[in-house]
Structure 1
């Protein structure tokens, strides 16, 4: 093959640019609200020269560019600067409305990816929970998403005191009584929305609501233990113990009495023998007395002495 023909083929190859791997294929990627995700895309040839490429998303039968949409502002990142053939798109702080079809396109080739977003849903089938705590101690009000990796796009904790109006205590503390005494316990799981209340007081009693939207919320009732309740529980436990002891004694006492009666009968009925010996005119008389209760039996035996 002539040299000039080889050079022409090389130039044509370089000018062809990037061919997207998996042309016209469809993939699915799952993300969680509040988290981040990678939408993979690359050239089939790692040494390809990428002139232009674009990321698009499907919106009302149109494909606008992702990088030019304000709703993705400060949430996107590309990796082609360090690796030109790597066209992967990184999206952070995911939201439910980010769900949909995305397209990576270069040199008239493309690949489609469906991004599925799992959000925070509360289990509203459970009955209202009741939590009890002691004065001066802390308590945790349970609330969580069904998917612990999903972070709610909004979260509100409200408090309704007994016979009073509701007031927000998280994230905005409208109640002075809760200032500096409430915090979330979601350090390891974004979907853990449980609220901790420190240094309980009598005024903390009432109904609390964990809300992630206007349609999704759970209610928790908080009651504080009073000393009279503790005393009642103590007296109840002592009463149960005493009652159990009396039952045991009542079951053992008849057996003890029965044994005592049997011992008395045995003592009265046992036999005693007395032997008396006397001589009268060469005869030996043996008096044997057998005493059984009030009766006395006398047996006389005569023995003749031989000369």
Structure 2
């Protein structure tokens, strides 16, 4: 291929001036283009039908023929580097073909018979000519039909047009505008007689791979010497036809298929259809279009047709074709889709992630899919688009056990909320399929805000840049629902609401609400909202001023009495430096049984619950929290447990001033 690319045939203008002296041909002048090729006939002056066919023929620049070519072989082409010669034993001439002309080729040559006759040939190679053409590379597939056109200059409208194959002898005429042609022929030439002619190659096979040239015939003054002006060279690369691919998907699940096409066809419309049913033509490029539950995206930048089929049933089983809309639709990928029942795969799950932190999603898949694992996220049209771990650095894939893998998403952001599907990818030469089997609903929250009784707290609500000019809201309870309590809006910054202020920093995409003089009733779940679609929950935890200090002895027990701030709540007890950390690992609660050395007794009528810790150890010293929960709102009281070797004292409430 590199050799063929290096040999560029450009339009050749051949004009042979025939010198006639005493009725004999004595000299020939040939004009060509630098970088192009030239072909002409060296003809005997003898008018007999045949001449000394057994004598050697030559075309040489010097006596020893180091530059040029000679042969004593008839009826086939003989090559010597860039030079080729063909001696037809039944004719009065032989043909000379020179490729890749350069300025160094300019000069005087001789052609003739070794014994009886010879002619002087003057070869003139021009550097620039408006008639010089270009070389193109064409890709085709076995079974395909292609058409290309060859331009020619004004004045050649009535001349015979020809289509040659190079390196088959080395030049072999395939068709001519003078010949009668049938629509069933492999090579069809049609002349517009304006500025170009078309060449069609039907039913391409592997044997058609090679180099072709199209041109225009010219005749000398004697009407016996044929000259050819080569216009364009076509390097035809033939590839195997895309074969059938087996794709396995599962009932009630989805499958994501990508069909790959050469960039040559990026401008062509793509087709997707099942069996012999009506073709689905993808009319729009670079956007999703759908037909029933089949969604398609013609990605011209990647040379891909992406197909997403959701809610699969047994009826979806069949043979599909993913193709390019070209002549006779020969270029396609055949997809044999099977839809099976899948076992031992999680149907769906729900997960919550804190913005700025990480989250892990567990995915299961049929064990026979031992290929690349994937996770993809539905867009607004519920189409699942691929997420590649190599492109998205925040997505880390790891196998845990057979048939199970996990996906870790780091530094979770607002755009990560939504529905995800896990699946396994199967990759073929021209097609990639991902059978999606697990569904995950990922919701986002902000890290809990901790406010102390009597102090202030800031609730920060991030939002997307496209919501900068929209009104933001803070509600206690999910906004736009009947039970929601509106706290404040971004356009109410001028309203003097007691204990509440608001700030909307559009350049930071941040909406902040400050609540002062906090009280127990301020505890609860708040929601940041934009328009009617975006709701982000944030939990406000209230820590009471009172601190419980309890002293106990190693080996003894402790009874810690926690007061309910509100009625009909549920109590909990946990350990940690901050309430939002300790609630991740609750030691004991009203709803749980005794946990080893920890137990909880509710005394609702007295408005307290008591936590008992037995068999105390030195390492039990530290900070604990009495918590109460009511409809998702949490109030905490700090507990400090000190261990000593003496007797146990009762818990003493301490008020911090």
TM category, shorter: 0.3 to 0.5
Q: Which has the larger radius of gyration?
A: 1
More helix by share: 1
TM-score, L = length of structure 1: 0.38
Relative contact order higher in (CA < 8 Å, ≥ 6 apart):
1
